[in-house]
Amino acid sequence: MNKKMTFLIAVAIPLFILLAMTIKPQATVLFGQEILLETKAYDPTDLFRGDYVAVNFAITDVPKSKVNLPLDKVYNKNLYVSLKQEGRYYVVDQVSETKPKQGVYLKGKFRESFNELGQAATYRVDYSLDKYFVEQGSGKKLEQESIQGGLIGTVKVLGGYGVLTGIAQS
């Protein structure tokens, strides 16, 4: 192999890797099903990245009654949360270890959440949908709106992967 070919391969591999990282989010935005989730916002500013709204979805706290698995199969594991529509919003229907064959679902990492008595009543689930960047100066306004009446998160879902595409006042 000559030097020119080696150079081209050395440049192409990192570019290919970067391009491949965008495929799943872009496919979700283009082809995913749009759902609405109820949110609560907090911490609207990051000094290095600008204004954003960090959101906590209602589906983040999954009641233990929805999880019919032993503790060793749940804690700190990636599981699938099936969602169903109730009124305007999607809510937790059930949790499973295997990818559902149909319906709307998100893949999330489960952690225990403790109440003031020190007992775990729910599981806290990380869906990686927690930050939404907004126009500079509007983060505080969204935080105030969430305190007064909540926000709605618009999420595109495809194959268990979700992308937060918008936040609006409910």
**Where in the chain are the domains?**
24-169
Model confidence pLDDT, tens digit, residues 59-115: 988 888 888 888 778 888 899 999 999 999 999 999 999 999 999 999 999 887 655
CA distances from 128 to 39, 70, 108, 116 (A): 14, 24, 8, 26
Contact status, residue 41 vs residue 143, Cβ threshold 8 Å: yes
Copy the structure tokens of residue 117: 């008595």
Within 10 Å of residue 1's Cβ, how many Cβ atoms? Answer: 6
pLDDT tens per residue across span 19-62 = 888 888 888 889 988 898 877 655 455 555 566 666 778 898 88
Please tell me the pTM assigned to this model: 0.75
Q: How far is CA 94 from CA 5, 66, 134, 140, in A?
A: 53, 5, 32, 35
Q: Does residue 161 carry a pLDDT above 90?
A: yes
For position 73, what pLDDT does the model report?
A: 81
